Amino acid sequence: ADPDPLQDLCVADLSASISANNFPCKPLSEVTSDDFVFDGLRKQANFTDAFGVTVTTGNVLSFPGLNTLGIAMNRVDIEPGGINPPHSHPRASEIGIVIEGKILAGIVTTENVYYSKVLTAGQVFVIPRGLVHFQLNVGRKKALTFTAFNSHLPGSTVLPLNLFAAAPSIPVEVLTKTFLVDEDAINNIKSKFVF
């Protein structure tokens, strides 16, 4: 989904003050072998959120060597019973492989058609660009998945956080009218997303 590169390599200079729809390249004289290696997906971070999922991102922001290459990779650790909640990636399709555990992977199209499948180790799934999708751990052990994207910064719109944890908040009236419920129901949901 990203534009094609215009040179062999362009390790991002994330500290540059000017950028236009990408990051400038750091000088070639400063590029080292380490710029092409990322250790950030080696291990699981601590589970920190309400969903029992940790998504560790290997995109241009964490791995500047990806700059302009149109690819990225995540590590997704899900606790038993945990969920990587419904979300979409505005700038990339996603391909994933289950390494361990058992997940229910679901997709919903723009026509509100739902596709899903229970997947185990070695199975590969694909999520078309922009479509809402989730992974629910339906096994008894933790689930580990690696996902890859055709963008160096795929972006992730996580629906519950977008709607209920935006800062500043979306007006409650918008949410009561959107979900056809009263304020208590909205405030109850919001209270769960104060991390």
- Residues near ligand GLV (CB under 6 A): 55, 74, 76, 84, 94, 133, 135, 147, 156
Render 143-164 in DSSP notation, one character per residue: EEEEEEESSSS---EEHHHHHH
The closest residue (CB) to Mn ion is 94
Which of the listed partners (Mn ion, ligand GLV, none) does 2 bind, with a CB threshold of 5 to 8 Å by partner kind? Answer: none
- Cβ nearer to Mn ion, comparing 77 with 94: 94
Going from the C-alpha of 86 to that of each of 118, 137, 153, the distances in angstroms are 16, 13, 19
Q: In a 3-state reduction of DSSP, which class is residue 116?
A: strand
Name every residue whose Cβ is closer than 8 Å to that of residue 169 and which is 6 or more positions away in sequence: 190
DSSP state of 12: B
Which of the listed partners (ligand GLV, Mn ion, none) does 55 bind, with a CB threshold of 5 to 8 Å by partner kind? Answer: ligand GLV
Which of the listed partners (Mn ion, ligand GLV, none) does 84 bind, with a CB threshold of 5 to 8 Å by partner kind? Answer: ligand GLV
Q: 125 is written with which tokens?
A: 């799934």
- Cβ nearer to ligand GLV, comparing 143 with 186: 143
Minimal distance in Å, beta carbon 121 to ligand GLV? 17
